[in-house]
Amino acid sequence: MRKVTLIPGDGVGPEIAKAVQSIFAAAKAPVAWDICQAGQAGIDQAGEPLPEATLASIRANGLAFKGPLTTQIGKGYRSINVTLRQTFDLYCNLRPVKSLAGIGSRYEGVDLVIFRENTEDLYAGVEHKVGADAAESIKIITRKASLRIAEAAFTYAVKHSRKKVTAVHKANIMKLSDGLFLECAREVAARYPQITYEEVIVDNMCMQLVIRPQSYDVLLAPNLYGDIISDLCAGLAGGLGVVPGANIGTECAIFEAVHGTAPDIAGKNIVNPVAMLLSGLMLLEHIGETAIAGRIRAVVERVIAEGKTVTPDIGGTASTVEMTEAIIKLL
């Protein structure tokens, strides 16, 4: 049994966390949940959005599975997601985007994996006002962070028999910062001659992804472009309800659905559990339980392809619990 910190989270979080817990139990996934709170649930239970007990659990287990969290705006709290990333140095944001048969999206055969640098770029939070009528945000790109995200992308490509890594940039304009990012990507690419390496400017990348997303394989990007193309790619494959993600560091990894707390549908038993479930399967793969992950994945794909017991966001009429039960029955 592998101990994993489970943070059900806010909004729809508890509903999708429960769905995954029961599916994992039915599949006999060797995971023991250590249930902790954060976000609004953390404030309610322990008086703070990121209680020390939760951090200690993640630190001890090195693995967390997390629902979406509410960050109270204007109450002096930093974003919990950002705090987690910084605390555990989760430098790699990994998002696989794969077409699922039966989902009425515009594209078929999309199979992309995005590696987004997660610690710097314009997200370092270094900004200031310049007088009353101007402001500056500083874009920070370092060799260390660029090399390790490139290394993560190429290592993954080799391990998962991927063929190509595409670096996304705007080095024609930001010659120094994006130029350094590319220099690092090239340095790593040279060590992996079996993987094709190419570079695409971010604006062109957006157009290419919309025209023929099937031409791309692994995408490697600094933080800002990675953020934007990640959501663009989620839209190519059926939207927020079906896209998983992970934030990975050297000592710790946190798996989570990419969507937010979806307060508009919370508590209504209609949230799609698939994004959270696929994130859970990434966790299983991460700990080497690929057979169980593959078995669950095949069942989920079948339930979605049949389309009889799916949630409203992907065209069905089933509730979260009904969809979960349909998956469990097939398992």
Contact residues: ligand ATP, CB under 6 A: 68, 240-241, 259-265, 271-272, 275, 313
Is 77 catalytic? The answer is no
Of the residues 34, 91, 98, 123, only one is catalytic, namely 123
235 sits near Mg ion (criterion: CB under 5 A): no
Is 107 catalytic? The answer is no
- How many degrees, rounded to 5, is the angle at CA 68 between CA 270 and CA 268? 20
Alpha helices in the chain (DSSP H): 13-26, 39-46, 52-61, 80-87, 143-159, 177-189, 202-211, 223-236, 274-286, 290-306, 320-330
User: Is the CB of residue 54 less than 8 Å from the CB of residue 245?
Assistant: no
241 binds, among ligand ATP, Mg ion, none (CB under 5 to 8 A by kind): ligand ATP
Is 313 catalytic? The answer is no
User: Is the CB of residue 224 less than 8 Å from the CB of residue 205?
Assistant: no
Q: What distance in Å separates the CA atoms of residue 140 and residue 123, rounded to the nearest whole number?
A: 8
Q: Which stretch binds Mg ion (CB under 5 A): 96-104, 192-200, 256-264, 267-275?
A: 256-264
Q: Which of 235, 239, 260, 312 binds Mg ion (CB under 5 A)?
A: 260
- Minimum CB distance to ligand ATP smaller for 237 or for 271: 271
Tokens representing 274 are 């698939």
- Minimum CB distance to ligand ATP smaller for 152 or for 276: 276
Q: What distance in Å separates the CA atoms of residue 19 and residue 67, rounded to the nearest whole number?
A: 12
Residues 24-53 close enough to bind Mg ion by CB under 5 A:
none
- Minimum CB distance to ligand ATP smaller for 68 or for 226: 68
**CB of residue 272 to ligand ATP, shortest distance in Å:** 3
**CB of residue 118 to ligand ATP, shortest distance in Å:** 18
Tokens representing 299 are 């069942």
265 binds, among Mg ion, ligand ATP, none (CB under 5 to 8 A by kind): ligand ATP
Q: What distance in Å separates the CA atoms of residue 258 and residue 72, rounded to the nearest whole number?
A: 19
Q: Which stretch binds Mg ion (CB under 5 A): 31-39, 55-63, 252-260, 299-307?
A: 252-260
- Minimum CB distance to ligand ATP smaller for 179 or for 312: 312
User: Is the CB of residue 115 less than 8 Å from the CB of residue 92?
Assistant: yes
Is 227 catalytic? The answer is yes
Of the residues 170, 178, 216, 217, only one is catalytic, namely 170
- Minimum CB distance to ligand ATP smaller for 93 or for 146: 93
User: Is the CB of residue 251 less than 8 Å from the CB of residue 91?
Assistant: no
Closest C-alpha among 200, 211, 229, 186 to residue 95: 229
DSSP code for 37: -
Closest residue to ligand ATP, judged by C-beta, is 260
Of the residues 44, 203, 231, 308, only one is catalytic, namely 203
Site of interaction with Mg ion (CB under 5 A): 260
Cite the active site residues. Answer: 123, 170, 203, 227
